[in-house]
Structure 1
Amino acid sequence: MSLPRPPDGDPALVGRTADLDLLRSFLSASAAEGRALVLSGEAGVGKTALLDRAAALADAAGVTVLRASGVEFETDLGFAGMNQLLLPLADRRGGLPAAQRDALNVALGLDAGPPPDRLLVFTAALRLLRDAGPLLVVVDDVQWLDRPSAAALGFVARRLAGARVGVLAAARTEAGGFFDASGLPRHEVAPLDEPSAAGLLRARFPRLSPGARRRVLGAAHGNPLALLELPAALDDRPGAPPAVLPLTGRLQAVFAARLAGLGPETRALLLLAALDGGGDPGLLQQAAGAADLAALAPAERARLVRVDGDARLRFRHPLIGSAVVAAATLAERRTAHGRLAAALAGDPERGAWHAAEAAAGPDERIAGRLERAALPALRRGDAGGAVAALVRAAELSPGVRDRARRLTRAAYVGANLGGRLREAAGLLSDARRADPEVAASLRATVAAAFLLLNGDGEIQLAHRLLTGAIETSAHDRADLFEALHMLLLVCVYGGRPELWPAFEDALKAAPRPLPPALELCGTLFADPVNATPASLRRLDAAIADLRDQTDPEDIIRVGLAGVFIDRVTACRDALARVVELGRSGNAPTPSINALIALALEAFLAGRWEQARALADEALGVCEEHGYHLLAWSARYQLGLLAAVRGDDAAATALTERILAWTAPRRILSAEAYCAHVHTLAALGRGDFQDAYRHAASVAPPGRLPAHAPQALWVCFDLVEAAVRTGRDAEARAHAAALDAAGVAALSPRLVLLASGASAMTAPEDRFGELFERVLAEPGAERWPFDHARVRLAYGERLRRTTTAGPRRARDQLAPALDVFERLGARPWADRARRELGATSFSRADGGLTAREEEVAALAAAGLTNRQIGEKLFLSPRTVGAHLYRIFPKLGVATRAALRDALADRPAPAPGSRDASW
């Protein structure tokens, strides 16, 4: 039998490829020689969906399908299940022997008569089914079949050999019932794995918020019914208690079915266990008071709970706990929360939450406890938990000022750490309605500025709000420092000189001591060129302290301070912890910055595939949470990778996407980042004029502008482009500016770039010494792309200017080529390969060298000296010098005669070589 495959992408069968393959095999075998199979699994796991698909496949193949389903409240009706199955075959009963026919008619309620002999009924059913083949019998919820039907089905299922009949049944795991599946093949339908569960949720609920998605995935444990039902019941407000999810009526019926037979003492203990969620027997006993935990035994026998190897009580599925809570009255839940709050007096966080849930109305004492409980959540990076605590504290606040203050703080945490821009805007609106004066506070202004900056890119308005709020009155120190951090980011992203004086004045006026991260970012992130040795030492000390740091905000701020001076590698472990926090849903906003910083570090270290993966992940998180500002930073990383790999179309598309969003908002720093991408792309394709134009837009030759940290990233590029376009004076001026600013003192990588720039512009008697010195710097090869570019520049100059040039050039060009090829830097590999080819000599008869051959061919094709130089990485003057030597060798005086002269030359003798170059 040929079985059609189901349509690809059917959400109901996401993650069921192996199960479907098994069913196809079963259907093929059963249609040929008879088979039985029992699908078992927990309620809601998807057994019915698989039965439906099997029935559809069989029907499409021309197989008759008979279906029945056990009904929980019909288990006392004799042969009710067989009646469902066999009635469609009523017209075939005439072919049965009379005794079997009569017995079957009575059993199915079609004729009156004394109770029939069961063996006659069973054999009649078997013969009827065998005669009707090919046939598929599908029975769902077989555990609820009535006793006679269950016995008949078992009799038939064990006697299918040689028949063209398949029996496919589904039963809940450990559900009991009358059907005896012993000896029959079984297949356990497992819950969906995590990727499949996430895929099903995305397919059915594409607009579900990230926080809600995480909660549903965690509670459903791969159960498809729970995945499809929970989103409809979920309360996804920021302050919703995180422990227990609400259930729809359908889920409640599935997961609470076995609670009804338990006694009140057992249900009370289960309620404590469900609301606590930790399963600590000591805590349960303390909260239960005089109750005996032995009363949980009936729940264990009913397979609702189990005791793990660590002696903790666990629900067999998280939604059983939700069903326990849903079945309890409001008074019972408050009483249980109150007992748990008392038992957790030594645990401020958990105790505060239970006290809040036990509260019957506003209570400032409990609200204060809950607000204080947000602090440890923040320190460990649990932004969602902190927001929930603050919102619930606001709900419990009797006074409007306290309510507004707590809502404002929740909005700030939600936006700055929790990835909740839309929710934060709503919380700020709620705070404004509660108390306009509090809503105008500095903390509220910081939250509003964060929303303006990251959501809408409103640089000017965010700057005006912050500077105005900072200047108007005295502020709490912590709020002021947060405002200065935000103002710093506004200035950095704005990229406009006129924004900086307000920040610098506010920083000078701020009370001392400044927080270390603020002081470091205020100098090293904002203007790293002017870093002092003392500030570098303080940064290195702060990075060393990150080993024990858990606050994601502090980690990110220290990391940002080191991003332009190559300290990210030292922060890598701490930043990786922030990324993991984001992946777990606790601090998505800092994780974006961490991913972007790690992508840059991987790019510079030559781990380009890892860099792409990190940048892609950062972009995905940005798009998921609506962080448009940070999204262009991720696209910049992808643009760098496209540029160095020679994918100019992708590099251009990415920068156009960046500028389409940033240009209307006058976010000028984005222009410098895009110019960096274009500079690398132009250098790769040999368009040195374009490379010079873009690099000079970031840092004019001979200048390192204040508050333009990107100038460090194009310092070598600018000098190279200037040299290649004959701008020797500009190249020397910029190399001198790098030296005067002490750029090489900032990091070993900047030693490589700044000293490499000096070597490129050095006179004939010094460049070799300078190149050799910089390439021998300890650890210089940690930045393989930059190191190979300096080697390439050295090899190019050696080949052109020294007697022993070709041989010495090959010593530099060959390893550079190896690195470029390993990295996938195709344009630079092509360039190094051409240079290596030019170190070989082409003729022994006084003819042209390899380089002269290239120049002559391009000149004959009509290219100008500048165009030839751009293609061959030469200055126009060098091209002219080559042509000056080429013309007399070929006996021509004009370019017009070159083509014919080249065509008329005799072929060189085999193995001949030229001593000139």
Structure 2
Amino acid sequence: MTQPDDRPETLVGRLREIDFLQRFLRQTGVNGGTLLLSGEAGVGKTALLEATADAARASGRTILRVTGAEFEAEASFAGLNQTLFPLVDDFSALGDEHARALRVALGFETGSAPDWLLLSNAVTLLLRRVAARAPLLLVIDDLPWLDRASAVVLSFAARRLVGSRAGLLAAYRTGSAGYFDTGGLPELPLRALDDEAAAQLLAERFPDLGPQVRARVLSTAQGNPLALLELPHAVRETRRGPAEPVPRILPLNQRLQGLFAARVAALPAATRTLLLAAALESTGDLAVLQAAAGAGYRLDDLAPAEQDQLVRVTTASHTVTFRHPLIRSAVVTESTSAERRRVHRALAEVHRDDLERRAWHLGEATVEPDEEVAALLQEAARLVRRRGDYQAVIALLCRAADLSPTPQARSRRLAEAAYIGAEGLAETRSAMELLQGVRQAGEQAPASLNYASATAFQLLDADGHVDTAHRLLVGAIEAWPNRTDPQDEELVTGLWTLALVCIVGGRAELWEAFHAATARLVPGPPEIMTLGIGLFGADPVRTGVALLPALEARLATIQHETDPDMVQNVAAASIYPDRLTEVREPLWRSIRQGRAGGPGRRRIVALMDVCIDDFVRGEWAEAAELAAEGLAVCEEFGGRFFSFYFRYHQALLAAVQGRFETSRALTDQMIGWAGPRGVGMAQTYARHAQVLAHLGEGDYESAYQRATEISPAGTLASHVPHSLWVALELVEAAVRTDRRAEAERHVRVLRESGTAALSPRLAMREMAAAALVADDEAAPELFERALRTPRTVEWPFDTARVRLLYGERLRRSRAMSEAKAQLKEASHAFEKLGATPWAARAERELRAAGQTARTPSNTQGAAALTPQEREIARLAASGMTNKEIGERLFISPRTVSSHLYQIFPKLGITTRAALRDAIGSDDA
């Protein structure tokens, strides 16, 4: 038998089952026995039988193999012939009566049919006798196809192997063991692979599979190994290229058809038609099927499919569902195109008041070009886009293009599909192929703003120069015939794309064309564009405060917002006002949808935003996880252009944690990549991380140089919002390097800008900067006002840095007692965050203030926990798993584990079971 480290590598996700079968082999090699493997078709029963047989053969066992076959199911004793043929020479050792019964049953002699009990005993004796020489394993696959006579005899023998060294291992489809009596025999139910194992198997066998196809295959296969291995081939065979949308119902190849389609083909014609309607009508609503009954069926026709366990009908909800998505695919595969069109037409009529469903059904029912249907499909696509299902949008637009009667209409719709694919980070090849289709469809294609927007995204994702994408978009917008209408969706799309290019360009001059274009709009640009650009993209230093009431109104309803574009834009507008926490739940929805196969770019943007919120709130463990996830998603979806954003977060974390070499390597990489491409945003972000690293190292000259490269002293650079995030650092570095005049000028411009109104965090930082340049009499009051700013607990790193600066100033003023109080608070906060260089700096200041040894905290029990730790402890004590706690609090299971690791010593416990008592007593 194979040892644990010799298990078959191909059987992904089957470690538990292989261990179980190893134990079975060891047992039967000593005392015999029988085991049945059961499970759905394609779940991997045969693979496990093969692996077990190979292991048994390698250990010196005698192996007998039987595979039931449909064509032999009516041939009496055909299965027994397969089983015992290798043992013919051993028949004579049984005695004449038993030997003759075997020879007659297997067709080696003629004579009257042997007595059933005599034959069964002969088979049992033969197996036991052969096993006496060496352990024996009889392996039976496809048990239901054994002929009746063989099944009866072998099920008799299966119960009489205990006490020998013979084992019987048989596999059958759940609920269909044929004539073999399974009653009372040990059984190992084989279930579908879990999500992780299914994803691993697909990744190992099809590493180049596109993310959208991978998600659909995983969803359809539902852990069925055979489906996971065969569906990708079927999809490739039916798609004309990567631009071809993934079919709503995945096709079956010949091997899968052999498993599932035969059962469908055996049903009455009316039942097959009803199942086809259920397959094409994804809700399974019986009322809808009843309304479409003109297609040639009655609801009573469901009965044969129910009896064969192909579908289940839920009375309470009045729905019919397929037992497995592959059965649904088999139903569609077994139908003709004419049958499908007829059912689609009937369903389109039923859904005449549902734009999306009516459009899709009409699109599938229509063969010839039809502008009315094409326009309906395009309208439905724009409706679907609001909920972020990019693949459905692309599929609808591609079908609309196919049905467009003119080249111009076809190219216009393909251009829109290309933009959706590029903006949503569909497969890179898919977007490129769609763009090529646009060029081939009509000469007017390049004038399309959607074409220009899609091309701009392709340029960025292909590491093109920002200025090239900018010129392309500006030219297309200036040439657009309807430049003043904010209701023109294509124009607004072009403006949003131009805004993105300006943002990543990070230079004020790029924005001139954008501002000129939006100034032409009558009566003005869309409100959400004004909000998003004004508070994040362009120049929130000068335009942000006036937009805060509009942001407040959006945040009041954001929890119920279903439009992912709106969530993304409100989140962006919330960054510099430090309101991202209020958008976390909608952002996490985008992340979870992305993880489940949703749009790549939506997931990337949501990860960016949550990383920002995690950093300022001190959730650095989760920030590190999400930054790593973001890099992986960028690589997976071909959106490597935005990788710099996640390297920025990694560089920030490395800087504040004292991993200076790592931070330096990351920022050097960002700057080296961004320079030739004109990505000023990446350079600014890299310098922000460099400023923090230099401050952590105590290199104030370098910190000043990097900060002033972002925004010179005495100015808040136009269209560089990050100038707000390095203002305190610039003032501190200026003071430390004897540039007092520059520091004072910078504080003055901060106050004049009014940006303290944007966020309490910015107000706290501005007040601390003012304290740094104030005289000894005024400084303490300014620091105290900074620390009295509302919500300081939400920004532990910034607050601790203000306390550190305050403590340093107090120590230099010889106010030692007050200095120690501030420095101890700062030291504790830095230690908890893992901000090693800052904690060391606070400790040095404490020693200089006369603190000879660190005073241990007197806080014990639940009182020592932070609010988040307390909530995690409470949920864990209630019995929730780390995954469930993470979903409740919108953090990862690993972050939950990290918190629990810190919680246990605070509570003086070592096990999760002790949590209830530990926090319960404190709560009381």
Q: TM-score, normalised by structure 2?
A: 0.87
Gapped runs of 5+ residues in structure 1?
A: 844-917
Report the Cα distance in structure 2 between the residues aligned to 1:554 and 1:841, rounded to whole angstroms: 53
The answer to whether the aligner puts 1:214 opposite 2:228 as a matched pair is: no
Aligned to 2:826: 816
- 1:698 partner letter: I
Alignment of 1:402-413 (within 5 A): 402-413=409-420
**Structure 1 consecutive aligned stretches of length 4 or more whose deviation exceeds 4 Å:** 6-9, 235-239
CA deviation map 1:458-498 (0-9, x unaligned): 31111111111222343263333322222222122112343
Q: Secondary structure at the match of 2:76?
A: coil
Contact 1:104/1:120 (8 A) holds in 2:
no
Aligned to 1:351: 358
Larger radius of gyration: 1
- 2:481 partner letter: A
Q: Secondary structure at the match of 2:264?
A: coil
Alignment of 1:118-197 (within 5 A): 118-133=116-131, 134-197=135-198
Q: Secondary structure at the match of 1:362?
A: coil
Aligned to 2:639: 627
Report the Cα distance in structure 2 between the residues aligned to 1:7 and 1:515, rounded to whole angstroms: 63
Report the Cα distance in structure 2 between the residues aligned to 1:8 and 1:509, rounded to whole angstroms: 69
Return the offset for 1:242.
4.1
Report the Cα distance in structure 1 between the residues aligned to 2:673 and 2:92, rounded to whole angstroms: 78
Return the offset for 1:420.
4.1
Aligned to 1:910: none
Report the Cα distance in structure 1 between the residues aligned to 2:298 and 2:689, rounded to whole angstroms: 70
- 1:816 partner letter: A
Return the offset for 1:722.
2.5
Aligned to 1:904: none
Return the offset for 1:69.
0.9
Match of 2:516 among 488, 499, 505: 505
Return the offset for 1:238.
5.1
The answer to whether the aligner puts 1:265 opposite 2:270 as a matched pair is: yes
Report the Cα distance in structure 2 between the residues aligned to 1:826 and 1:496, rounded to whole angstroms: 35
Match of 1:451 among 452, 458, 471: 458
Contact 2:535/2:574 (8 A) holds in 1:
yes
- 1:216 partner letter: V
Contact 2:70/2:145 (8 A) holds in 1:
yes
- 1:432 partner letter: R
Match of 1:755 among 753, 764, 767: 767
- 1:615 partner letter: A
Report the Cα distance in structure 2 between the residues aligned to 1:199 and 1:734, rounded to whole angstroms: 54
Return the offset for 1:332.
1.2
Return the offset for 1:363.
1.3
Aligned to 2:311: 305
Contact 1:243/1:277 (8 A) holds in 2:
no
Percent identity over paired residues: 47
Return the offset for 1:350.
0.8
Change (3 A) 1:842 1:640: closer
Return the offset for 1:779.
1.4
Contact 1:40/1:171 (8 A) holds in 2:
yes
Alignment of 1:452-467 (within 5 A): 452-467=459-474
Aligned to 1:860: none
Return the offset for 1:841.
7.0
Contact 2:663/2:690 (8 A) holds in 1:
yes
CA deviation map 1:282-331 (0-9, x unaligned): 11111113732112111111111111242211111111121111111221
Match of 2:533 among 522, 539, 559: 522
Return the offset for 1:541.
2.5
Alignment of 1:837-848 (within 5 A): 837-840=847-850
Change (3 A) 1:95 1:661: farther
Q: Secondary structure at the match of 1:432?
A: helix
Q: TM-score, normalised by structure 1?
A: 0.88
Match of 1:469 among 468, 473, 476: 476
Report the Cα distance in structure 1 between the residues aligned to 2:66 and 2:480, rounded to whole angstroms: 76
Match of 2:501 among 483, 486, 490: 490
Contact 1:520/1:539 (8 A) holds in 2:
yes
Change (3 A) 1:79 1:652: farther
Contact 2:734/2:743 (8 A) holds in 1:
yes
Aligned to 1:74: 72
Return the offset for 1:241.
6.8
Return the offset for 1:692.
2.4
- 2:806 partner letter: Y
Aligned to 1:56: 54
Aligned to 2:321: 314
The answer to whether the aligner puts 1:32 opposite 2:42 as a matched pair is: no
- 1:138 partner letter: V
Aligned alpha-carbon RMSD (Å) = 2.1
Q: Secondary structure at the match of 1:139?
A: strand
Aligned to 1:892: none
Match of 1:836 among 836, 846, 849: 846
Gapped runs of 5+ residues in structure 2?
A: 854-924
CA deviation map 1:828-883 (0-9, x unaligned): 1122122222222789xxxxxxxxxxxxxxxxxxxxxxxxxxxxxxxxxxxxxxxx
Aligned to 1:906: none
Alignment of 1:665-676 (within 5 A): 665-676=677-688
Report the Cα distance in structure 1 between the residues aligned to 2:665 and 2:152, rounded to whole angstroms: 68
Aligned to 1:203: 204
The answer to whether the aligner puts 1:685 opposite 2:697 as a matched pair is: yes
Report the Cα distance in structure 2 between the residues aligned to 1:597 and 1:77, rounded to whole angstroms: 68
How many residues end up aligned between the 2 structures? 839
Aligned to 1:394: 401
Report the Cα distance in structure 1 between the residues aligned to 2:473 and 2:85, rounded to whole angstroms: 78
Aligned to 1:571: 583
Contact 1:4/1:61 (8 A) holds in 2:
no
Change (3 A) 1:480 1:243: closer
Report the Cα distance in structure 1 between the residues aligned to 2:153 and 2:218, rounded to whole angstroms: 41
Aligned to 2:109: 111
Aligned to 1:374: 381
Q: Secondary structure at the match of 1:391?
A: helix
Report the Cα distance in structure 1 between the residues aligned to 2:268 and 2:126, rounded to whole angstroms: 48
Change (3 A) 1:685 1:9: farther
Aligned to 2:40: 42
Return the offset for 1:513.
2.0
- 2:620 partner letter: W
Report the Cα distance in structure 2 between the residues aligned to 1:215 and 1:370, rounded to whole angstroms: 22
Aligned to 2:711: 699
The answer to whether the aligner puts 1:339 opposite 2:346 as a matched pair is: yes
Report the Cα distance in structure 2 between the residues aligned to 1:240 and 1:457, rounded to whole angstroms: 27
Return the offset for 1:207.
0.9
Aligned to 2:297: 291
Match of 1:360 among 367, 392, 414: 367
Match of 1:441 among 438, 445, 448: 448
Return the offset for 1:548.
4.3
Contact 2:91/2:99 (8 A) holds in 1:
yes
Report the Cα distance in structure 1 between the residues aligned to 2:628 and 2:819, rounded to whole angstroms: 39
Report the Cα distance in structure 2 between the residues aligned to 1:65 and 1:788, rounded to whole angstroms: 72
Contact 2:243/2:429 (8 A) holds in 1:
no
Return the offset for 1:168.
0.6
Match of 2:85 among 84, 87, 93: 87
Return the offset for 1:179.
0.8
CA deviation map 1:555-611 (0-9, x unaligned): 212322332332322333333333344334343322311210111011101111222
- 2:4 partner letter: R
Contact 1:238/1:388 (8 A) holds in 2:
no
Q: Secondary structure at the match of 2:292?
A: helix
Contact 1:457/1:629 (8 A) holds in 2:
no
Contact 2:534/2:544 (8 A) holds in 1:
no
Q: Secondary structure at the match of 1:259?
A: helix
CA deviation map 1:100-142 (0-9, x unaligned): 2222223223334433333333222222222232111111111
Aligned to 2:4: 5
CA deviation map 1:715-756 (0-9, x unaligned): 122222233333333333322332232232221010111111
Report the Cα distance in structure 1 between the residues aligned to 2:8 and 2:423, rounded to whole angstroms: 37
- 2:116 partner letter: R
Report the Cα distance in structure 2 between the residues aligned to 1:534 and 1:695, rounded to whole angstroms: 27
Aligned to 2:100: 102
- 1:447 partner letter: A
